[in-house]
Amino acid sequence: MTRIILLIDGGYLRAQARRDHYDYSVDFIEDFAHTLIQKTESFVRVIYYDCKPYQGDAALPVSGNSYIFKSGGGWLDELASRDYFAVRTGLLKFRGWKPKQIPLNADTLSDSDFKPDFEQKGLDLRIGLDIANIIQVKSADRLLMVSADTDIIPALDLARNSGMQVIGVDFPNGPLHGEILSHFDLVREADWPKDAVKNGRE
């Protein structure tokens, strides 16, 4: 059997799932991971990268009232308890507020016209360190990568130069494109889990 380590950029997978109106949950992530593996392959591990929800308070953009961001990251601990799964977390930084849509109507402007703007920090480094470790201990024959982040290209090239096969993942309505395509040996088409729940929002 070919030994597979699957690396999942949680922010990327979540965006793809929500675009196709699927509920994003621990069960969804686990089921999706298993749809990617082929009969001749076996999981060594699935490593999931994401940030815990932001905790803190900020002044709302129009009223100036204080808004408290409440944590809800317990699902990451649940995911880490599932078979084969490991979770790596980065830091979520609050960058301010951004309009939900443009143009804004200045006459009726309110706090509800804005949404928080967050930036993920540290995940690219964690992906690179994990890939370097996988290469060093030769724990897999193949890397399966769910990401389109060009910042991980040096790590992908390191894996390929070591002789490891690196496979990207295409989504049903979001195929890979651009610079990152040339840094995969193969691209595998993904299917959403058959029992995945739609959220009804179009």
89 contacts 55 by C-beta, under 8 angstroms: no
**Entry pTM:** 0.87
10-68 tens-digit pLDDT: 999 999 999 999 999 999 999 999 999 999 999 999 999 999 888 888 999 999 999 88
Rounded Cα distance between 4 and 54, Å, is 32
Contact at 8 Å (CB) between 51 and 69?
Answer: no
Tokens of 186: 């193969």
Q: What is the pLDDT of residues 103-118, one digit of tens each?
A: 888 788 899 999 998 8
Q: Is pLDDT of 202 > 50?
A: no
- pLDDT score of 187 more than 90: yes
The Cα 174–Cα 99 span in angstroms is 25
What average pLDDT does the structure give for the chain?
91
Peptide bond into 103 cis (omega under 30): yes
Instruction: Render pLDDT for 79-105 as a digit per residue (tens, 0 to 9).
Output: 999 999 999 998 888 889 999 888 888
For 2-57+70-92+123-189, give the CATH class: alpha beta
Q: Which long-range contacts does 187-196 make (Cβ < 8 Å, 24+ apart)?
A: 188/36, 188/144, 190/32, 190/35, 190/36, 190/146, 191/35, 192/17, 192/20, 192/22, 192/32, 192/35, 193/28, 193/31, 193/32, 193/34, 193/35, 195/31, 196/22, 196/23, 196/28, 196/31, 196/32
